[in-house]
Chains A and B, each alone.
Chain A
Amino acid sequence: MRREEGKEYLYITLHTELPYQYSAGRYMSRFLTTLRDEAKILASRCTQCGTVLVPPRVVCGNCFAEMKDFVEVGPRGTLKTFSVINFPFIDPFTGVQRPVPYGYAIVQLDGCDNWLPHFLDEIDVQKLRIGLRVEAVFKPREEREGAMTDILHFRVIGDRSRESSPEGEVS
């Protein structure tokens, strides 16, 4: 008697294991190997308008000119905006829930014109503020593998005025 129309609706579970290999390309490969081997962050500079962008890429979106120069940026920078992610969702990298809460930092690295997203080590929004100075924290050399995760996270180093070293100062 369960075949009456409108009484029972089925779902078919699709579980598709389809591994991909994504080519990092020339610029991103250099970016990632430099992160791994030297713990340095590379950006590209536009030959036409001078814009410095991280991650480095072959062409400048503003003027469609080739970006030929690589420059080192960071590891310090300024927190341009942020969030603290609290809600649960499946991480496509792992297939299981991404650990929450975590700090989501949007950082303008010193010497760079655009911003870079990464993890933030602080999750108390009362202690966070746009404009804080932050610094990339790298994994130890033996654990780095040529991935964005070679940077563990950004840590808050305080206000610009109280920064210990002048190296990270930008105009």
Chain B
Amino acid sequence: MPKSVAIIGSGQTNHTSRRADVNIPELIKEAVDRALADADLTIDDIDAVVIGNMEHFEGINLSDMWASEGSGAVMKPAMKIATGGTTGASVAACAYYHCASGLFDRVLAIGWEKLSESDTTTGIITAFDPIVERLTLAGAVGGLAIEANLYMTSYGITQEQVAKAAVMARKNAQRNPHAHLKLDLTVEQVLHSPMIAYPIHYLDMCPTSDGACAVIFASEDVARKSAHPPAWVKAAVCRHNHPYIGDVDWRKNTLESAAIEAYRLAGITNPRRELDVIELYDPASFALLSWIESLHICGPGEGGKMIDAGAITMEGDIPVNPSGGVISTNPIGATALIRVAEAALQIQGKADARQVEGVRTALATGFGGSYWSEVFILGRTP
């Protein structure tokens, strides 16, 4: 049986489009320092380090080696995890596994990226099959555009409904000091922004950001002695997928499969009622509607009604992305770890201006690769 594990601290940089003032280890150290301070620990208290980013996005390899001073990994067990967009969630899962195994007491999970240093779309294309898919793939934008078209066409979801989600996310981001895009938008502005890849407008899509996030996981005994209320890991579930975009079975998606297993592990039978907040990996605004359906927050095709009714806003019964989400902030290797960190802050009651009242159970997701997913459920009790 796995041992209970909790998050006892986290730290983020203030994410932005370009951090010319820091190199990679300097950027990482900012997040690590903030996480250690948040948990009232020093680097000597850390037993192991797990770190990840999108390999070769900055044109470099083995960053876990030469950034080890910034990560605090010198003379500690350390490993790098790279699973594309889900990297940050995989880093978190790996830190969770370390502590749940009983072999480690405090594990530092780090995700980072400096997307300003290369062309993100080009980098993403090179992650896909070189013979069949690179020819036509337009990075994440193209891959998400075909899913958005399929979703919106299948259920009659309108451009206006999707644009409302984009407006909501950027409004939420205004309450988050770490968010990159804190935009005050109207639906009309989203609809009149350039159509970058039908049906996705420029303002529907996530930005490219520079930033890092660090989260400290602890074993049960250590977490119970923590100076701050911990956020307990109730479930951490990963689902990978077939290799090619054309292989993906949209009726049996990885997010739904991971969510079903996570709900089973956490004993959740009515997610809409039992979850208090969701930090969803929303690389484009349609995902805020479509992927809450995969999470069984509403039925298939009801995402549009959810945004029309205001159900997922800060004032709604199930707020999604108080942080502003991925369409407001996207340093890719950190992005899914930020979801986990933000969900933990909500449980800990430390989310400041973006805090949802009385959060007892929070869900975080990661998205990447050929439409694969990770789901975390955090709670106030083990």
Contacts and interface: CB of A to CB of B under 8 A. Distances in A.
Nearest to B129: A55
B194 interface: yes
Contacts of B194: 86-87
B150 A80 contact: yes
A9 B210 CA distance: 16
A32 B247 CA distance: 19
A11 B145 CA distance: 33
Given A32-B131, A117-B133, A148-B132, A89 B139 contact: yes
Contact of B245 (A32, A84, A87, A117): A117
B55 interface: no
Interface stretch (B120-128, B161-169, B260-268): B120-128
A91 B122 contact: yes
Contacts of B202: 87
Q: Counting chain A CB atoms within 10 Å of each CB, which of B20, B131, B145 scores highest?
A: B131
A22 B247 CA distance: 22
Nearest to B141: A87
A44 B303 CA distance: 37
B246 A117 contact: yes
A40 interface: no
B244 A114 contact: yes
Contacts of A125: 198
Contact of A104 (B122, B146, B199, B243): B146
A84 B246 contact: no
Given A90-B121, A92-B125, A53 B195 contact: no
Contacts of A82: 146, 149, 198
A9 B246 contact: no
A118 B194 CA distance: 24
A80 B196 CA distance: 20
A12 to B, nearest CB: 10
B144 to A, nearest CB: 9
Contact of B131 (A14, A28, A83, A98): A28
Given A9-B21, A28-B131, A89-B138, A84 B247 contact: no
A65 interface: no
Contacts of B138: 83, 85, 87, 89, 98, 104
A106 B146 contact: yes
A53 B247 contact: yes
Contacts of B59: 14, 16
Contact of A130 (B21, B139, B149, B246): B149
Nearest to A88: B121
A46 to B, nearest CB: 12
Contacts of A86: 194-198
B130 interface: yes
A115 interface: yes
A84 B197 contact: yes
A41 B131 CA distance: 14
Interface in B142-158: 142, 145-147, 149-150, 153
A45 to B, nearest CB: 15
B125 to A, nearest CB: 5
Contacts of A89: 119, 121-122, 138-139
Q: Counting chain B CB atoms within 10 Å of each CB, which of A55, A82, A87 scores highest?
A: A87
A29 B119 CA distance: 31
A81 B145 CA distance: 9
Nearest to A83: B145
A102 B141 CA distance: 14
Nearest to B136: A117
A1 interface: no
B136 A104 contact: yes
Contacts of B243: 61
B272 interface: no
B298 interface: no
Given A83-B200, A98-B138, A116-B132, 16 more contacts: A55-B131, A61-B243, A81-B149, A81-B153, A82-B149, A83-B146, A86-B195, A89-B121, A89-B122, A90-B121, A92-B122, A93-B135, A104-B145, A115-B245, A130-B150, A148-B132
Interface of A: 6, 9, 11, 14, 16, 22, 24, 28, 32, 53-55, 61, 80-87, 89-93, 98, 102, 104-106, 114-119, 125, 130, 147-149
User: 3 shortest A-B CB distances, which residue pairs?
Assistant: A115-B246, A83-B145, A89-B121
14 contacts: A24-B131, A28-B131, A32-B131, A55-B132, A81-B149, A85-B141, A86-B198, A87-B138, A93-B135, A114-B242, A117-B132, A117-B245, A117-B246, A148-B135
